[in-house]
Structure 1
């Protein structure tokens, strides 16, 4: 009886390892386009798009399945004649600004861009005030 329970427990623990996804692999995830010019366009775009799974790599460098799906989608769209900038805008609309490594100039981000300049100016003012107050010997 104990042996049967142990076998059942081991079978239950190994079941997730044996599971497979029901989705077929993306056709162009790891296969390049036949036209080298189109492949260069796709590769250049893929290097500017952030992997949503690993977050520290571009989709060109990532081995995550999500990155493979995105690479395939980009290659298929470029093969169909879409311009890389149009594909980039579509990816940003779908996944948000964060997906692109290129910084945006949205008005909501202006304080973020201005903060280093403001902090530097405050530091210079403080330094100037300290230098003026110092007694001369």
Structure 2
């Protein structure tokens, strides 16, 4: 009975996490945004030389194409697995958030390594040995 209860609770927790992630998804990219004023630091994250918005690239062919970089979010630092040659602009992202009044869920999971999965850079899963077993029961059986 406890195994069934454990599976049910795990499923509910997983669904709650998925719903939470859906709530903080980025807005659609086809949303019209007014062009930033010249010299404005509050516009979208832009490249220094071109003035065009920076697009973070996550495509890959091998694990060596992926690395952890700070892509930024509305809270500040946000490490993610991206292509080693991808440009990032965490300060620009933060400035855009402040200018538009957007907020973000703060905090992030620590990424120790990246891998190429189906052509996209992704964080490697935690090693199984990092999980701790349940402590032994302290109850005495008579």
Normalised to the residue count of structure 1, the TM-score between the two structures is 0.28
Name the structure with the higher strand share: 2
Name the structure with the higher helix share: 1
